[in-house]
Structure 1
Amino acid sequence: MNIFTPPHLRMAALGLVLGLVSVSALAQGVYRIVGPDGRVSYSDQPPPAANARPVASGSSGAGGGASAQLPFELRQVASRYPVVLYTSPECAPCNSGRNLLNARGIPYSEKTITTFEDAEALKRLSGQSSLPFVTIGSQQIKGYSDGEWTQFLDAAGYPKQSALPSAYRRAAPTPLVAVAPVAAPAPATTAQTQPVEAPAPSVAPPVTNPAGIRF
């Protein structure tokens, strides 16, 4: 486009460029930002690193070693935006969230909240104890909402239909806080003191017992 291009064509070209920029920004993802006052906002710009909440160590959206079984594009998305689902056995909405992820073929890891230590770790991670709780990369979603979960999965680049291979096996759920086995106490090595028997007193044979036989 040069200075001799008619004005209406220049405006149309500029609008097309701005439209492409907007689409590119949306393709990068939508970010859910929680401010210091607890107010939630959405932006196409990532939150400052200081406000990012870390994902629990050992979490993987590709089911651990099963990530090698994933198609290349799905493996790339899962490595950039791993999905971790936090559930409990008594949580009915957790089943709805799990069914959504399974139906869509999302590779995710599941952390269960069953102990007091698990609940305390969840509070430190999410700021509250409500379930289900899901993280998509650094984004946190509290509670189950079909529309909200779908929006963030789409923004992350996950396919709308399952692309998991038939041989894919998801890792079993694990507790949020790993419980280290407690070693059994070593048996006591102190030997018990055995009573010492006193020697039998020596009885002198009577004078009338010449053979010296003791009774």
Structure 2
Amino acid sequence: MTSTAIKFAAGSALLVLATGLFSSASQAQPVYRIVGPDGKVTFSDQPPPATTNAKVTSGSADGSKGGASASLPFELRKVAGQYPVTLYTGDNCGPCTSAKSMLTARGIPFAEKTVKTFEDTQALQRMSGDSSLPFLTIGSQQLKGFSDAEWTQFLDAAGYPKSSVLPASYRQAAATPLVTVNAPAAAPAARNDSAARSAEPATTPVAPPPSANNPSGIRF
């Protein structure tokens, strides 16, 4: 096969893939904000099965940003609602930094989830099949590892602008942990020993009755 034929075949395959992934981009579909049993928040155009016990509300790509989505241009808000972008990053991860820079430079509104704890890693493995970072989702599409060219192709296919159209007032939301672990309730403060002793009624220790293993009834 000639190099021209190879390039044409590769281009056709990408077009078919992009068409299959984003053929519904022109259709107005609801976006569901799904909170799983492990606390992880995802967005999808399909509701989860009832057996997952996940909490579902209608949402958008900017659900974690509160009212920030209202400041986005209409077309960007529309595509971000249909195909929200979420970036999963870790500490001391050079490719993660490059990935964030690429998305920021292009003006992609995205949610960032950090993977730092054992619970985070387990949740990432259940979702992506491994624990490699960075990890990107565009709608339901998953991209493992940072590749400027590959990410650009999928963002283009989703309909994101090729250059930033974000207003000057837009602020990227702070990163949040992939799994939110509720802190245990604080134990009641211990009373002062002397106060505790004075508050307790005076009792006379009673030696345990003799037994076959302790014939003298000795208290230990």
2:79 equivalent in structure 1? 77
1:29 to 18, 32, 45: 18
Contact 2:86 2:138 in 1 (8 A): yes
Higher-Rg member (1/2):
1
Runs of 4+ in 1 over 6 A off after TM superposition: none
Alignment of 1:181-200 (within 5 A): 181-187=183-189, 191-192=196-197, 193=200
1:57 to 41, 52, 57: 41
Q: How much does 1:180 deviate? A: 1.2
Structure 1: distance between partners of 2:118 and 2:168: 37
Cα distance change of structure 1 residues 108 and 138 upon mapping to structure 2, 3 Å threshold: same
2:174 equivalent in structure 1? 172
2:101 to 86, 99, 106: 99
Q: TM-score, normalised by structure 1?
A: 0.63
Q: How much does 1:195 deviate? A: 5.6
2:151 to 144, 149, 152: 149
Structure 2: distance between partners of 1:27 and 1:159: 20
Contact 1:87 1:133 in 2 (8 A): yes
Q: Percent identity?
A: 56
Gaps of 5+ in 2: 1-11, 25-33, 44-59, 204-220
Q: How much does 1:31 deviate? A: 5.2
Gaps of 5+ in 1: 1-22, 33-42, 46-53, 197-215
1:136 equivalent in structure 2? 138
SS in 1 for 2:18: coil
Q: TM-score, normalised by structure 2?
A: 0.62
SS in 2 for 1:61: coil
Q: How much does 1:106 deviate? A: 0.1
Contact 1:119 1:129 in 2 (8 A): yes
Structure 2: distance between partners of 1:188 and 1:89: 38
2:162 equivalent in structure 1? 160
Structure 1: distance between partners of 2:153 and 2:123: 27
Structure 2: distance between partners of 1:58 and 1:67: 17
Q: How much does 1:140 deviate? A: 0.1
> Deviations 1:119-154 (Å, cap 9, x if unpaired)?
000000100000000000000000011111000000
Contact 2:115 2:177 in 1 (8 A): yes
Contact 1:94 1:144 in 2 (8 A): yes
Q: How much does 1:68 deviate? A: 1.1
> Deviations 1:137-187 (Å, cap 9, x if unpaired)?
000000011111000000000000100000011110000001212211124
Q: How much does 1:104 deviate? A: 0.2
Alignment of 1:109-124 (within 5 A): 109-124=111-126
Q: How much does 1:30 deviate? A: 4.4
Contact 1:83 1:135 in 2 (8 A): yes
Q: How much does 1:194 deviate? A: 6.3
After superposing the two structures, state which structure 1 stretch, 144-153 or 57-66, moved more. 57-66
**1:29 is aligned with what amino acid?**
A
